[in-house]
Chain A
Amino acid sequence: MTAAALAARPRAALRLSKTRSILLLSAVAVLLYVPANGHLTLPLDTQAPLFIALNSFRDWMIANRTAWFFVFFFTPVREGTAGLVDFVTGWLTTLGWVGIAAIAGALGLVFVTWRTGVAVAGALVLVGLLGVWDATMVTLGQMIVAVALSLVIGIPIGIWAGRSDRVQRAVTPLLDLMQIMPTYAYLVPLVLLFFIGNGTATIATMIYAIPPAIRLTALGIRGVPAETVEAASSLGSTGWQVLRKVQIPMARSTIGLAVNQTIMMALSMVVITAFVGAGGLGEVLLKALEIQDVGGSFDAGVAIVLLAMVLDRLTASASQTSDRRRPGADRVSVADRRQIRAAGLVIAIVGIGLGVTQSWAHVFPSDYSLSFADPVNALVSWLEANAVWLTSGLKDVASSWLLDPLQQVLTAAPFWLVVGYAAALALIVSGRRAATVAAIAGLAIAALGVWRPAMETLTQVLFGVLIAMVVGVAVGTWAARSSLVSQIVRPINDALQTMPAFVYLIPALALFGPTRFTAVVAAVIYAIPAVTRLVEDGVRGVSVTAIESATSSGSTAFQVIRKVQLPMARRSLLAGLNQGVVLVLAMVVVGGLVGGQALGYHVVQGLAQASDFGIGLSAALAIVLLGVVLDRITQGAGARREVKRIEDE
């Protein structure tokens, strides 16, 4: 009898509360663990038939590049994309650094404010000073192509999904899956189809960047009040007229947000796609990470953050000014506006002229440089010498008290017990469907032959989520109760959330060296902002009356938090947990690169070495499946949100 059945029976018979059911389930699991531990633990066998079969499949694919599906689909798609990227990058190089900085500055001036113009131009000059101008242009070219194609594909689909419930229903599960799927996971299968190269990197970026384009566009179209659409129809508009004259103009600022989000998502792929041949800043950062050159990766990381800032500033406000009747918009008169536009045009043309003709304005002069590499490396050495008692103390305590025992238990447990426990937990928390999915996904991980690394990854995820939740709930609650704290935390959160994930590895690596703990720390830093924000919003949403009535009956502040605010914000806490799990998993597998071992390590190896391809692909699939299991179990809150949405409709 499985643990799932055991858990289901008392639940039905006795109608236990969820907490009690979980405790009972855990007790049963412990009882089963004692006699069964050590059996059926599925250790990793690198020569498993599945891996060998996958390797030969890869060889077969490579040998058959002339097969029709390559010739007529994959190859032209890849070559077309790569050609486009080369074309754009070529132009960026032709314009010279002065040309690019002038264009960016002019865009900032015309569409936002002169201050933004100066800031973005300055940021680009800074990028040049960091000595990574050429790499930045390679990355920028790829971003431009990936974002443009993502929008060309995503916006029409989004519009369609916004206008048709059926299309919306069809694409939603797909988008959900793409959202929880760690990007790392689809690189391996992608390489199988498209091979390594900047075309593949661009396609990988698009897979990640298209969902928000679709989702936000659909949201914008759906946000147009039904009555306004009806008013247009009632006057005899055709469907096309309604779309063009009503829905698109009224959804414009949300579609602007879609553009902005698409860019940010694409940027967050800069480093990861370096695994499949993206080149550019990602490659610089990755190479430095691989040799633990923290200072070198720091420069590239700063350049990525600067590039993100430039693109974010330019597009975030472009989407706002397009709503031409914002309060501030009237302050600039039409005549002024024309002058500003003329000035922008002049700046851009002069800049391009210089960049194309003058050699100092074309190639960034190498005499000037502002590398952080040396001071950062010095700092790292200093830390290694002087703070080692703190960092390694922290690391050792966490490892020997939490990570090791947990990993010990998970890897020694028979796989059926873990799968059964997960499924039963899903049943209790999120219902029967979630339990079925969790059980199937769990068994599939076992079948893929990567059970043991999956348990190692799970260990890191559980630990990371625990820390992220403790910190997130504490900070979120505090911020919700004190507007001063909130004012401090919000901008930090904003900044952290716009930063590409890989950047988080750098400080973690500097402090803790290449270990499993580093991956977890990076994952925790990555997940905390989202958790904090959800908790803060949830606690803030608790009705004032409930708090007042608790206070007036003499509760202490701590009692108010524990008995009123947190229970009433339960839904947000669960949503925070769900987000935390998804984000921690995404980052933990990336940590495979810096000594994180487990599934992430095998993915990196699979990308790097032909003989490890089979394990890499299995590990990648296992990451997705692990994500599905964890998402299902923690989805209780999300599921209820679904129901409510349907009711609202």
Chain B
Amino acid sequence: MTSTFPAPGPFAQARLAAGQQPSGETAISVKGLWKIFGPGEHKIIGTPLAELTRDELRLATGSNVAVRDVSFDVRPGEVFVVMGLSGSGKSTLIRCLTRLIEPTAGEVTFDGEEIGKASQARLRDLRRHRFSMVFQHFGLLPHRRVIDNVAFGLEVRGESKKARRDKAAQMLALVGLEGQEMRYPDQLSGGMQQRVGLARALAVDPDVMLFDEPFSALDPLIRRDMQNEVLRLHNEVGKTMIFITHDLAEALKLGDHVAIMRAGQIVQIGRPEEIVGAPADDYVADFVQDVPKSYVLTLGWIMREVRPGDPLDGPVYPSTTVIREAVRDVACSDSPIRIVDDGKLVGMVDRSMVLAAIAGTEPEA
């Protein structure tokens, strides 16, 4: 691998190992999920055909593998981001979770319940109460007022008009759209429309929110606003979120964990700093090469062990601090930064290491 990234330090490597063995609790667990579009949907898995690449298979059978043997776990309350280029199967994957698209094979478990085995009625129940989704082009109903769009999920599950309007008004306030209740979607800007989509998804008070590239139709400034909105909502309401994007910066900004997809497969799962600091292959490396490392990598990622004779009068930071935030102190102090977790000194960071991370080269330690 011809990468110019800082190699993960020993500390980071230990954390990387920990990242691959998730702590026991999961909200959603996906195992061996496949989706094949086309005539041979059920005749491919388990045969040698399944080993072919996407293009080969399309030529051989006319079928299209959109999602190939995908497995991952999502922890309760986290933001799990799936990122990949156009056509990599992200939308298909997220729709398979609630069977908006029927998966070809594999298991999706939510709260211990296998969704693939749910009856249609049970599935509707799950969709009405436990999951909700936000769409790239909003999917609003143009013939309904904003408030009735937000109330749609409540209406579908049979709540009274008063109850659902009250709840919808609350949700509109939550996303900053007071006063827009009686307008129609096409009278709102794109960003406002997506806030309506967000409010609609929040209104049913779901456990899990699914986002399919919700901001890619918006322009950059509004997109940044909306990202902050999602982070704020996430902090306020603490839902588990699965978030699809093809924008790496967005993935790194929002994700507690990020999965990178390519041609239907997941090529790497990790925390943002792991993706940036230790890309699993050239494909991922290519993706992350323009990311300013100091914005993503933490001090813990680049620190070295404490050596006898290190000056102990430098600034103190926890290992989870993003490098960028320590730059000013590093510049002002002659002594290396001390990394202290839980009151214990765990490592040191020299000025040269910070500079190397900013420049994106190997430190000459």
Contact = CB atoms under 8 A, between A and B. Distances in A.
A439 B274 CA distance: 68
Contact of B156 (A237, A250, A252, A325): A237
B224 interface: no
Interface stretch (A32-40, A134-142, A223-231, A261-269): A223-231
B142 A236 contact: no
A237 B133 CA distance: 13
B153 A236 contact: yes
Nearest to B131: A234
Contacts of A483: none
B124 A238 contact: yes
Given A249-B143, A325-B184, A232 B137 contact: no
B79 interface: no
Contacts of B137: 225, 227
Nearest to B184: A325
Nearest to B101: A230
A236 B153 CA distance: 7
A235 B139 contact: no
Interface residues of A, number: 20
B128 A235 contact: yes
A231 B152 CA distance: 10
Interface string B144-155: 000000001101
B291 interface: no
Interface in B87-144: 95, 98, 100, 124-129, 131-133, 135-143
Contact of B139 (A228, A236, A249, A252): A228
A241 interface: yes
A233 B143 contact: no
B42 interface: no
Nearest to A234: B133
B125 A236 contact: yes
B253 interface: no
Contacts of A246: 141
Contacts of B156: 232, 235-238, 241, 245
Interface residues of B, number: 32
B157 interface: yes
A233 B100 contact: yes
Contact of B204 (A235, A238, A249, A250): A235
Contacts of B131: 234
Nearest to A227: B139
B125 A249 contact: no
A234 B127 contact: yes
Given A234-B133, A235-B152, A228 B140 contact: yes
A232 B152 contact: yes
A385 B131 CA distance: 83
Contacts of B210: 234
Contacts, number: 73
Contacts of A323: 143
A228 B135 CA distance: 9
Interface string A2-22: 000000000000000000000
B142 A250 contact: yes
A228 to B, nearest CB: 4
Nearest to B123: A236
Nearest to B157: A236
Nearest to A322: B143
Contacts of A234: 98, 100, 127, 131-133, 210
Contact of B141 (A230, A238, A250): A250
Contact of A228 (B125, B127, B128, B141): B141
Contacts of B129: 236
Contact of A230 (B124, B135, B143): B135
Main secondary structure of the interface of A (DSSP, over half): helix
A249 B140 CA distance: 13
Nearest to A228: B139
A245 B139 CA distance: 13
Interface in B148-192: 152-153, 155-157, 184, 186
Contacts of B200: 231, 235
B139 A233 contact: no
A246 B139 CA distance: 10
Interface string A201-234: 0000000000000000000000001011011111
Contacts of A230: 95, 100, 133, 135, 139
Contacts of A232: 139, 141, 152, 156
Contact of B128 (A225, A227, A231, A236): A236
A241 B156 CA distance: 7
Contacts of B140: 228, 231
Interface in B56-97: 95
A27 to B, nearest CB: 41
Nearest to B148: A245
Contacts of A236: 124-129, 153, 156-157
B184 A231 contact: no
Interface in A241-282: 241, 245-246, 249-250, 252
A231 B127 contact: no
A233 B131 CA distance: 11
A234 B204 CA distance: 11
Contacts of B138: 227, 231
Nearest to A249: B143
Nearest to A226: B139
B143 to A, nearest CB: 5
A96 B9 CA distance: 96
A231 B135 CA distance: 7
B200 to A, nearest CB: 8
Given A231-B133, A231-B135, A238-B124, A249 B153 contact: no
Which residue among A231, A237, A245, A323 has the maximum number of chain B CB atoms within 10 Å of its CB?
A231
A246 B142 CA distance: 9
Contact of B136 (A227, A245, A250): A227
B38 to A, nearest CB: 12
A231 B142 CA distance: 13
Contacts of A237: 124, 156
Contacts of B141: 228, 232, 245-246, 249-250
Contacts of B204: 235
A417 to B, nearest CB: 41
B157 A231 contact: no
Interface in B10-40: none
Given A228-B140, A228-B141, A235 B127 contact: yes
A327 B156 CA distance: 30
B336 to A, nearest CB: 52
Nearest to A239: B120
A234 B134 CA distance: 9
Most interface-central of B100, B132, B135, B139 (chain A CB within 10 A): B139
A323 to B, nearest CB: 8
Residue among A225, A227, A323 with max Cβ neighbours from chain B (10 Å): A227
A594 B90 CA distance: 65
A330 to B, nearest CB: 11
Interface string A316-339: 000000010100000000000000
Nearest to A237: B156
Contacts of B157: 236
Contact of A231 (B125, B126, B139, B143): B139
What 6 A-B pairs have minimum CB-CB distances, sorted nearest first?
Answer: A231-B139, A236-B128, A236-B127, A235-B153, A234-B133, A227-B139
28 contacts: A225-B137, A225-B139, A227-B135, A230-B95, A230-B100, A230-B133, A231-B133, A231-B138, A231-B139, A231-B140, A231-B200, A232-B141, A233-B127, A234-B131, A234-B132, A234-B210, A235-B127, A235-B128, A235-B153, A236-B125, A236-B156, A237-B124, A237-B156, A241-B156, A245-B141, A245-B152, A250-B141, A323-B143
Given A231-B140, A235-B127, A235-B156, 9 more contacts: A230-B95, A232-B139, A232-B152, A235-B128, A235-B200, A236-B156, A238-B124, A246-B141, A323-B143
Interface of B: 95, 98, 100, 124-129, 131-133, 135-143, 152-153, 155-157, 184, 186, 197, 200, 204, 210
Interface of A: 225, 227-228, 230-238, 241, 245-246, 249-250, 252, 323, 325
